[in-house]
Amino acid sequence: MSRLKLGIRLCLPLLLFMAASTVKATTLHVNCGGKAGLTSIGAALKELQYSEGHGSSTINVSGACHEDIVIQSIDRLTLNAAPGASINDASGGNLVTVTIDDSRDVAINGFTINGGAGGAGGADALDCADGSVCRLNGNTIQGAVNGYGVGIFFSQLFLDGGTLQNNFTGLAVINGASGKATNVTIQNNSLLGIEIRTQSFVNTTATITANSGGGIRS
């Protein structure tokens, strides 16, 4: 075997190892209302989108965040709430508070997410759309009085724990979407607990109670 061929064979594994080693997990810290560092989730998301070579990403959040955030085309992302952390609609009910779009394996853990009470468009508190895979764990999602607490559109939802309350409808699974809802309470919504339509399905062990228009409609 020639020295040239041997060198190529030896270099290729080394190059692959070096390329793999540049893909690292990223952890960012957000203090909403703080004076320094990252003071909004939106700023942290921009930092992730403009960075190169990162693997899975975690954003740890403290404080009350007054912003409407869009997680678009970001895979393997986790948002963790410090005790008492919240995401609050800043649009007066005209925009979705949290939008997850074209993103796989996004987890949101332990937040209070407040939708807007105004707005004529019926904005939701949280949407999972366009082929996303969304994991919601232990959140309280509320206040979308003209929209859905959680809306799933052509995507996949894993909802574990927490509460969906005081929305127009607690959970909507629409347009070829699927959902699994366990250990969650869906209550006090002004229309339905869960709405399922257009070739969608939900597997649930949720506690569904005190919703004015009924528990589940499909």
Q: From edge to edge, which strands make up the β-sheet containing 77-81?
A: 24-31, 54-62, 77-81, 106-109, 133-137, 156-160, 178-182, 201-204
Residue 23 has a pLDDT of 62
Task: Tell me the pLDDT tens digit for each residue of 128-150.
Answer: 999 999 999 999 999 999 999 99
Give pLDDT, residue 38: 98
pTM exceeds cut of 0.85 = yes
| Topology at the third CATH level for domain 23-217 | Pectate Lyase C-like (2.160.20)
Return the pLDDT at 51. Answer: 75
Whether the CB-CB separation of 105 and 77 falls below 8 Å is answered with yes
Residue numbers of the chain with a pLDDT score lower than 70: 1-23, 52-54, 119-121
